[in-house]
Structure formats: C-alpha cells, structure tokens
Structure 1
Amino acid sequence: MAYKTKSVLVTGCSAGGIGQAIAYAFHQKGYHVFATARTPSKIPSTLSSAPNVTVLELDVLSSDSIAEAVQSVSAKTGGRLDVLVNNAGQASVMPALDVDIDEAKKIFDLNFWAPLAMLQAFAPLLIEARGCLVNNTSASAVCPFPLMSVYNASKAALATASETWRHELTPFGVRTITLITMGVNTGSFTRPGRKPTVLPESSRYAAIGDFVLGIQDGRMQKGAISPSEFAAKVVSEVEKGAYGTVWAGTQAFIGRLMFWLSPQPVLDMLVQSIVPFAKEMAKARKKAD
C-alpha cells in the first residue's frame, strides 16, 4: 500500500536552530517529519515527541550514517521522500592569513560535501516522489563579509552547486530551492559551550582581536526574524511549487535588490557597515602610530 502522507527529512534539528523550526513548520502542515541530528538528544522535545515525527541519528559526514537514514526513511515511506532539506552547517570566523587549512577543509566537508552526499543518497527517493530538494545557503554566498572567507566560500560553493543540481534534477521531476538566508536570530553565537574564535598572538590582525571576538557576541543576529518566521517562509515556498534561488530572512527583498543592483563601491559600503573591518584596522593603525 502506498504511503500517502507527504514526508520531509531535515538535517541539523538541534534546539533553537533553523532546522528544528523548519521541521516543526512542516509537521504543522501535516507532513511526516524525519528530524535528524548527530546528537538526537539535542532535538527539542516539542518536536521529538510530536506525532508523525521520526527522530533519526544522522551524521552527515558519515556515509554509513547517511545510508542507515536512507534505509529508515525508505522503510517508513515505501521508498519515497517528498522534501529533503539540507540545513546542517557550521559558521567560521578567522582571517584568511590565520586559517588552519585542515580545519577549513572540515567546514567545506560539512557545508558543501555533506549536502552533495545527502543528495546522492536520497536521490532515488526524491525522484520516486517527484519531490523537492532544499539547500540552505547564506547571504554570505554572495556577500564577502571580512573574516569569514572559508564560510563565505563554502556557502558560495553550495549555492552555485545547488543551482546546477536544479538543472540536472529537473528532467527527473525534482524541484530544487536554493535558500539565500539573510538574518535569522537563532542565538547560535551565545549558546552555552560555544567557543568563539580567538586570533593567534602572531596574527597580523592581533590589534583588533577584541573586535573579532565582538562580532561573535550575537550582535549580527540582533533584530533578525525568528527561526519560526523563517521556517514559515521556507515551507510556503515549498508548498507553492517554488524553485531556484529564494531569498529569505530579515530584509530579504531589500537585500536581494541591493546585491543585484548596487555598484561595487556601494556593495563595499554595505559589507563594511555590517562588519566594519576596515574601520577597526584604521583605528588600530592610528593607535599603533
């Protein structure tokens, strides 16, 4: 007997984040939700204990873990998956001159290679359902925020690949949505146990070490929309049949216009207004003189 309830799998569903909000929003729309996390105990009980929610332990960096998730979903749905949301990811703050290359590769593993691995593994289920792939990238994919080159590049790689996958998957009836995510107040910068980036003493940017720490104190999410508001937008786009690049988050429409229409000097001013790196470096140099 065919499984009639629509299904969605969301990666990175830890409490407070975008993933758990998206999962819960789909649940409210009547989907059977596969809420996943590397540590399932971090998924909030409001989601994990809800009806029609299956919690799966999923490490998106492990091919074995991904294969087990495919088997679990397939067994429940009869080999179909209506929506796959690649949400799991990690931010990174460090000047390029100080980046540890091995650590940078880990960021790319999580932010780029893992979504590709998830797509390859779940493609048969998405194709069977003529479903929808959703890749959560970032405004950082198009906006070169200083001190975040590794994160920016990993999200840019995912955004470009996602749009390429869209063309490749369309012949099989699978839609692809590439989320360009603006501000969402997840509280990720202020969560207990989070270790902020500290510049090495030898850094050429050591004089602005306090500034680097400061931009990690949550101020970049201040005034942003809530995860639930963002999730409602995502589910709405999926439900109405959207495809391609979708900007979502705080002031998404204005941000989209500015990035598309503004000349380079104006874009540079915008970037520096959000992360005033040049101003802080100038102050440090003046103080040193």
Structure 2
Amino acid sequence: MGPQPGQKTVLITGCTPGGIGHALAMEFHAKGVHVIATARRTAVLAEMGALGMSTVALDVTNAESIKTCHAEVAKITGGTLDFLVNNAGRTHTHPATDIDMDDVRETFETNVFGVMAMCQAFADQLIAAKGLIINIASLAAVTPYVFGSVYCATKGAVVSYSRTLRLELKPFGVRVMVAMTGTVRSQIASKTHRTLPADSIYQRVKELFETRLTFSQNNGTVNTEDYARQLVSKALKSESPLLLRSWFGRPDWFWAGGWAGQTWLATWLGEWVLDFALYRKMKLAHLDQVLKQEAAQKKLV
C-alpha cells in the first residue's frame, strides 16, 4: 500500500525493531505520514508492513542497493520524498591504540559514507518535495567519549558534512536537521563482542573498558519512544525564520536523549568542561593511580 494523495512520505534507514529507526517509523506512522521502512533484511520489517508501511531492502554501504531502493521509492511516491532520516549506524568501542583499520573502515562506511551516499542519491526526490533531511548524529560528535574515538570521529564527520549540506541545498528548498542524540535505549550497544587485545595498554583497567561497552544503555538513558516522539514532533512543525526555528519551527539542531541538555550547555562553556567531566565519569583517574603504583613498584626493584 502506497501513500494516499497529498500524504507526506518518509524514508528511514535502519528500522530493525528495537532501535531508534523502528521507533521513528512507528511515530511517523502514528502521525499520518507514509513510512518507507528499510533494513538489510526486509523479513524483520514484516510487522511494520502489516501496519501499512512500505518496506524496502537497503544496505547503505552498497551502491547497487541504494540505487535499487531509490527506484523503488520513486515508484511508491511518484518521485518525491518529504523526509529522509539517515538513522542506520554502527557503534565502535575500542581504545584508539587498539583499533583495527578494517574494522574502522566498516564503521565509516555505515556511519559516514552511507549518509553521504543516501543524501546524494535521494537529492532529486527531496528537491521535488522541498523536503527535510534528518541526520542522526550523536553527542559523541562534540564530547571526548572515552574508548569511542572512532565512533566520535564518524559522528563529528556527519555534523560537519550536514552543516555544509544545509547551505548547499538551501537554494533548492531542502532543509537539513542534525539530531544531536544522547543516551537512548536502542540495540546499538547490544553487541558487546569487542574485547581488548592481550597486549593492550588498557588491560590493567579492563573493567573500565567493559563498563564502557554498555555505557549508553545505563546512564541517563531515555526511552526510545520518548526520543522518537520529540524528534517527529519537531520534524512535522512548519517552517519558521532562522532566529525562531529552535523554539517554534523545525530546528537546524535537535538535542535530545540522556545528557543532551548538559552537553549543549557545556559546549558554550568551553571544551575543558567536557574534558574534565568525561575524565571523571569514565574513571580514568583510576588508571592514573594504577600507573603511579606500577612506577613505584619499579623503583623498589
């Protein structure tokens, strides 16, 4: 079933149940927007299809998959797209000194290059509708999220890319919103398979690393549905002049999720505030103590 005449449409990447994309799809659907839900395997979207949403297979790291999806969406919508939500993402928790470059490239393929490829591919449909791109970024883009340097780098790239994209598409009537997402209940940290290499310099504080693997799900974490409700509400607002957008219209920047308010405030106070806070929050002072104890033991030998 496709959209009804005059019904707005939204394409969301990464809609596997249990994640932010799924919650956004359900909320857009509840608000009367025709949802085009995507995932690598459409089988996981069966219940969404039964609700009347369109379901399309999509791998944002594969050019042919994006091309095929573009063609299918054009058939569904008639060649226009009101909203593109780039939600598909991959977590990456490893100390910067322990990263595997092939693993890093996979994360950039999904979190950065996939976003770029989707914006490029669907620009024509968005321009036809004078639509809105919503790029799901993270507080990690502006915080020193310990043991997450690669993830931070990808989200920082999305933020910088989005700012420029916003200006480039403005003459065509397409807007770009960046979602600065804090801790939200999702499946992104459900896979805790990452381990420290045996020779890691952080083996001495292995417990800190293991705690960090699920940090986003245990610290001020906001319910996925609440986050989705806030974001969709903002996305569906009418346009307002630049100076009024943050309060009355669709904002350029959407801050929500656990720690979002505190982080926003800290960005105005200076990066030292976040450096100080994260160093304490991640208990790196414990590593300081361990290293001092090791140094003292060496002197006694």
TM over 0.5: yes
Asked if the contact 1:23/1:33 (under 8 Å) is kept, the reply is yes
Q: Which of residues 201, 205, 226 in structure 1 aligns to 2:198?
A: 201
Task: Spell out the pairing of 1:170-249 with structure 2 (5 A cutoff).
Answer: 170-189=170-189, 191=190, 194-218=191-215, 220-240=217-237, 241=239, 242-249=250-257
- For normalisation by structure 1, the TM-score amounts to 0.92
Aligned residues: 282
Q: Cα 1:283–1:43, aligned 2, differ >3 Å: closer, same or farther?
A: farther
Residues in 1 aligned to 2:45 and 2:219: alpha-carbon distance in whole angstroms: 24
Task: Spell out the pairing of 1:118-133 with structure 2 (5 A cutoff).
Answer: 118-133=118-133
Determine which structure has more spread, i.e. the larger CA radius of gyration. 2
Residues in 2 aligned to 1:183 and 1:99: alpha-carbon distance in whole angstroms: 23
Give 1:284 deviation, angstroms.
2.9
Amino acid of the structure 2 residue aligned with 1:213: E
Q: Cα 1:43–1:271, aligned 2, differ >3 Å: closer, same or farther?
A: farther
Residues in 1 aligned to 2:204 and 2:21: alpha-carbon distance in whole angstroms: 36
Residues in 2 aligned to 1:149 and 1:111: alpha-carbon distance in whole angstroms: 13
Residues in 1 aligned to 2:206 and 2:26: alpha-carbon distance in whole angstroms: 39
Asked if the contact 1:70/1:122 (under 8 Å) is kept, the reply is yes
Task: Spell out the pairing of 1:79-118 with structure 2 (5 A cutoff).
Answer: 79-118=79-118
Structure 2 partner of 1:250: 258
Structure 1 partner of 2:245: none
Residues in 2 aligned to 1:234 and 1:114: alpha-carbon distance in whole angstroms: 21
Give 1:110 deviation, angstroms.
0.7
Give 1:196 deviation, angstroms.
2.7
Residues in 1 aligned to 2:14 and 2:286: alpha-carbon distance in whole angstroms: 34
Cα RMSD (Å): 1.9
Amino acid of the structure 1 residue aligned with 2:32: G
Residues in 1 aligned to 2:155 and 2:216: alpha-carbon distance in whole angstroms: 21
- For normalisation by structure 2, the TM-score amounts to 0.88
Structure 2 partner of 1:274: 281
Give 1:20 deviation, angstroms.
0.4
Q: Which of residues 5, 8, 18 in structure 1 aligns to 2:7?
A: 5
Structure 1 partner of 2:24: 22
Task: Spell out the pairing of 1:146-161 with structure 2 (5 A cutoff).
Answer: 146-161=146-161
Asked if the contact 1:92/1:107 (under 8 Å) is kept, the reply is yes
Asked if the contact 1:186/1:221 (under 8 Å) is kept, the reply is no
Q: Percent identity?
A: 35
Residues in 2 aligned to 1:77 and 1:266: alpha-carbon distance in whole angstroms: 47
Asked if the contact 2:139/2:260 (under 8 Å) is kept, the reply is no
Which has the higher mean CA deviation after the structures are superposed, 78-87 or 196-205? 196-205
Structure 1 partner of 2:244: none
Give 1:163 deviation, angstroms.
1.1
The runs of 5 or more residues in structure 1 that have no matched partner are none
Give the 4+ runs in structure 1 shifted more than 4 A. none
Amino acid of the structure 2 residue aligned with 1:74: A
Residues in 2 aligned to 1:221 and 1:134: alpha-carbon distance in whole angstroms: 26
Give 1:105 deviation, angstroms.
1.3
TM-superposition CA deviations, 1:35-91 (whole Å, max 9, x none): 10112233372x33212x011110001111111111111101110000000000111
Structure 2 partner of 1:142: 142
Residues in 1 aligned to 2:25 and 2:281: alpha-carbon distance in whole angstroms: 30
Which has the higher mean CA deviation after the structures are superposed, 234-243 or 177-186? 234-243
Asked if the contact 1:183/1:224 (under 8 Å) is kept, the reply is yes
TM-superposition CA deviations, 1:95-126 (whole Å, max 9, x none): 11111112111111111010000011100000
Amino acid of the structure 1 residue aligned with 2:211: G
Amino acid of the structure 2 residue aligned with 1:142: V
Task: Spell out the pairing of 1:28-47 with structure 2 (5 A cutoff).
Answer: 28-43=30-45, 45=47, 47=48
Asked if the contact 1:198/1:209 (under 8 Å) is kept, the reply is no
Aligned to 1:13, what secondary structure does the other structure show?
coil
Q: Cα 1:176–1:217, aligned 2, differ >3 Å: closer, same or farther?
A: closer
Aligned to 1:43, what secondary structure does the other structure show?
helix
Q: Cα 1:157–1:54, aligned 2, differ >3 Å: closer, same or farther?
A: same
Give 1:3 deviation, angstroms.
4.2
- The answer to whether the aligner puts 1:63 opposite 2:63 as a matched pair is yes
